Structure 1
Amino acid sequence: MRTPLLFTSCIAFFITACSSSIPYEEREEIRQSIDDESEQLIEELAEVYPEIHAQLEEAEGYATGVMSNIKVPLVGGGTGIGAVYSNVDDSTTYIDLYRYDVGAGLGLSSYRMISILDTPENLEKFSKGFSEPSWGTDWNISTSGIETEKLYYLEDSEIPTYLVFESSASAVGSARLMSVSVNEELTETGVGNAKFANHESTTEKSSPQWDRPLPFFAQDVVDKGFSLPLPFGISILYAETKQDMTITNLEAGMSFIDSEQTTVPINSVTFDNNYSHSKTPQLKIDAWIFPFMNVFATVGKVNGMAHVEFESDGSVANHIADNSLRCNPLFPGAEPGKNCDALSKATGWGPKGLDVDLDGWNYTIGATFAAGWNDYFLAIPASVSYVDMKNARAEELVISVSPRIGKQIPLKGMSSVDVYVGVSYLDSNLTINGEHYINNIPSLEGEHIDYKIEQENIDKWMGLVGASYNFNRSWAIQAEYGQNGSDKRQFVSSLTHRF
């Protein structure tokens, strides 16, 4: 039997392999080491438990692993790596092992294990990955040897498990969470660490097998050396945008002149210092339909305001009075009266500022076209958004295209940082309906002008920078900032889960 020092060195090697991105050219060597470790463990156990060979042959499969644990008075944990060998289809799935402890006690242990997967359910669970809480105590072992207790409880049912401890351990009353996850790189599923399809293979020896429903044609690009992200995603986003706007197509009408309150085009009103400022939390879902094409949809709540400043020389009122049938004494049923006289003699008003509340819902559909090469990537998201404001007082159509180029920087374990720069094209068209109450004409106090205007953003292009921190293949946070001078600014942040 090997010495504890030798086995401790193996654990350090395996843990290092399990906690970092593994290059293609190193994977076969690591897989072979795990397989050799498993065979060696079986032979060692067979010297004490000869029946283990029959158990392994009759079972659906078995799982092996090496673990290293540490326990302090209240918390503890461990990591390891192993493999699941299926007797059903002779496949091998390489796995990462994690354990988290809460409870009284002290301890430091390292051990090897074999779990007999005697049911199809247990084989599938270990092959797909799982997390299970449990309660129990650790064994007290003072020297290297084989633990006499062969049942180890990971869930409600008992899974026969052989353990070989390489160092002493002691803990009592520990609540545990045991987690098993597929090591995508060693198993070669084609799933990578990058957010986009990333070409990283430099050898023809690898043969990943993509077994997920999406994207279509995934196996074709995986065979060419690309790794792919997990196909589905759900995100929580927050976007804040402020931009200057230009006003066009003003229409206005007098509520007391036209009983139907219709508006007519007006060309005699000038506008200045117009902008919109919106804040939008959103929920996003997405899927990689093709290896280089992701489609997404979002829904969000819009809060903000549109600021409009305008002034008139009086011709807006003159125009309405001159063209209103009610002000024409030759028209049957006309009521010229003092309102028409006041309007025809109006001298206008100075600058007026209106703040229109933007309160409604945002709906977006779009697609991202992206690909990577050795951790560099190019991504081009394009989307169309419709904003439906509450009470139908404003509605907006937004078209956006944001090409960006960046690089993924690997960190410890499965974590990484993406940094990128790019440009954004955003075309926003906002239609606002509202009223302006008249206060400077005594005879018209309390009356109002109905109006309709269209706003369009002035600066459609802006530069942007962004970064995301990827905790692992499943979780990431992102922040992005864009600006064009002092007139246009945008900030976007998100939390994403992929599966």
Structure 2
Amino acid sequence: MIALDDTAWVSLVVPPTPVQEVAAAPEGGPTPPDAEQSVVPAAPASDAPVPPPEPVSKGLRLPFGRDRALARGYELPRTAGLSILLVGNHQKLDAGDLAVAIGTPAGVAGRTLTPVPFVTTDQIKAHNHVVEFKADVWLFPYLNLFASIGRTNGGMDIAVNIDLTGLLPPVLCRPPADCSRDLRFHAEIDNTTLTFGGMVSYGAEDWFAALLASRTLSMSSRDRSDITSTDAGLRVGPRLKLPSNSRLALYGGVNYVDLDTTVEGSLSGEVRDPAGAPLTLRYRTSLHNPWKWSGLVGANFEFARRWNLQAEQVFGKGGDRTVVSASVRF
């Protein structure tokens, strides 16, 4: 699960008006004879030589349309950038489609997982931190594309109550035996993440707005399904001029996250049958985030149009996310 990421924008400035130099008229008095001989009659304006055309670059110049944007007075950011991001996530999730297999440690491995229809979810929390490296490029003056690779570490705690009546032999689940169990699952998270996305941005001299969307694939290094998530956000705020050719942007907005994943694992020694014998439980459950919308606030410090430092906090009923990043542009 990734966060995104650096906020960028373009600034609108008014191009300076060109200044025309006017030659001073010569002072009165006779013209020296040799000066008269050196005078060359001026050619008519219609016959003035046409200056040669300016050389045109044959290389690929990004962003596309930059010359037109500069001619209209837009200040464009540097074309490409490299960033490092540190992200901390805490998220609340819901579970569904729980399936388990229970038996002895030697016999449970080959058993088919059986769906458990009666499940009460007490608590599901995911917590992880991400170190991510990102590269981006301005394809058009208003469109930035980016890709990143990162490493996610953390865990997922799941507490549920399930009815084992259909999973244990009937003789063990007859009254007064209680076949309901409170189970706690813990799934370690050790994933490699790949993120691809884009951002549409526009700004004036003292404000900006940016709309961002990305897709993240989190590939597990364990025997577990991969995780995919979709992230989108809107950021709007003022840009403040500071000394030494620097700027500070303060912004707020909204964020949307859609996560869908499947977690698999096993528990040994924590599950026992009504007679007290230890059992091993294999499980599989799907997880999703029921609270997809949240608010955000952040700040971005830009120095010399090359260096950026950013901090962002996402908060809501579904959890929170903290992002700190540093980037350099070329």
The alignment's TM-score, normalised by the length of structure 2, stands at 0.78
Corresponding residue of 2:221? 390
Corresponding residue of 1:430? 261
Corresponding residue of 1:478? 310
The two structures, once aligned, show a CA RMSD in angstroms of 2.6
Q: Does the 8 A contact of 2:165 with 2:180 survive in 1? A: no
Q: Give the Å deviation of 1:197.
A: 2.0
Q: Does the 8 A contact of 1:358 with 1:394 survive in 2? A: no
Distance in 2 (CA, whole Å) between partners of 1:210 and 1:218 is 14
Paired amino acid for 1:252: V
Corresponding residue of 2:12? 199
Distance in 1 (CA, whole Å) between partners of 2:240 and 2:305 is 14
Q: Secondary structure at the match of 1:361?
A: strand
Runs (5+) with no aligned partner, structure 1: 1-193, 322-339
Q: Give the Å deviation of 1:437.
A: 2.8
- Structure 1 residues 455, 376: closer, same or farther in 2, change over 3 A? same
- Structure 1 residues 357, 316: closer, same or farther in 2, change over 3 A? farther
Q: Does the 8 A contact of 1:466 with 1:478 survive in 2? A: yes
Distance in 2 (CA, whole Å) between partners of 1:223 and 1:344 is 84
Corresponding residue of 1:22? none
Q: Deviations over 1:100-147 (max 9, x none)?
A: xxxxxxxxxxxxxxxxxxxxxxxxxxxxxxxxxxxxxxxxxxxxxxxx
Corresponding residue of 2:194? 363
Q: Does the 8 A contact of 2:98 with 2:115 survive in 1? A: yes
Runs (5+) with no aligned partner, structure 2: 1-6, 20-54
From 61, 65, 77, the equivalent of 1:217 is 65
Question: 1:92-241 counterparts in 2 under 5 A?
Answer: 195-201=8-14, 205=18, 213-241=61-89
Corresponding residue of 1:491? 322
Distance in 2 (CA, whole Å) between partners of 1:210 and 1:456 is 54
Corresponding residue of 1:191? none
Q: Does the 8 A contact of 1:210 with 1:218 survive in 2? A: no
Distance in 2 (CA, whole Å) between partners of 1:382 and 1:464 is 15
Higher relative contact order (CA 8 A, sep 6+): 2
Corresponding residue of 1:447? 279
Paired amino acid for 1:245: L
1:295 equivalent in alignment to 2:161: no
Q: Secondary structure at the match of 1:393?
A: coil
Q: Secondary structure at the match of 1:400?
A: strand
Corresponding residue of 2:23? none
1:469 equivalent in alignment to 2:301: yes
Distance in 1 (CA, whole Å) between partners of 2:255 and 2:263 is 25
From 199, 208, 229, the equivalent of 1:377 is 208
Corresponding residue of 2:290? 458
Q: Deviations over 1:357-394 (max 9, x none)?
A: 11111111100110112231110111011111221335
Paired amino acid for 2:114: V
Q: Give the Å deviation of 1:246.
A: 0.5
From 117, 124, 146, the equivalent of 1:274 is 124
Distance in 2 (CA, whole Å) between partners of 1:396 and 1:344 is 40
Q: Secondary structure at the match of 2:93?
A: strand
Aligned residues: 283
Q: 377-386 or 252-261: which moved more? A: 252-261
Question: 1:66-81 counterparts in 2 under 5 A?
Answer: none
Distance in 2 (CA, whole Å) between partners of 1:437 and 1:369 is 50
Q: Give the Å deviation of 1:448.
A: 1.5
Higher helix share goes to which structure?
Answer: 1
Paired amino acid for 1:366: G
- Structure 1 residues 416, 399: closer, same or farther in 2, change over 3 A? same
Q: Does the 8 A contact of 1:313 with 1:347 survive in 2? A: no
Q: Secondary structure at the match of 1:221?
A: helix
Distance in 1 (CA, whole Å) between partners of 2:161 and 2:246 is 56
Distance in 2 (CA, whole Å) between partners of 1:419 and 1:396 is 32
Paired amino acid for 2:79: P
- Structure 1 residues 412, 259: closer, same or farther in 2, change over 3 A? closer
Paired amino acid for 1:494: S
Q: Give the Å deviation of 1:259.
A: 5.9
Paired amino acid for 1:317: L
From 138, 162, 166, the equivalent of 1:312 is 162
Q: Secondary structure at the match of 2:77?
A: coil
Distance in 1 (CA, whole Å) between partners of 2:144 and 2:230 is 17
Q: Does the 8 A contact of 1:479 with 1:492 survive in 2? A: yes
Q: Larger Rg: 1 or 2?
A: 1
Distance in 2 (CA, whole Å) between partners of 1:394 and 1:443 is 34
Q: Percent identity?
A: 25
Q: Secondary structure at the match of 1:272?
A: strand
- Structure 1 residues 259, 488: closer, same or farther in 2, change over 3 A? closer
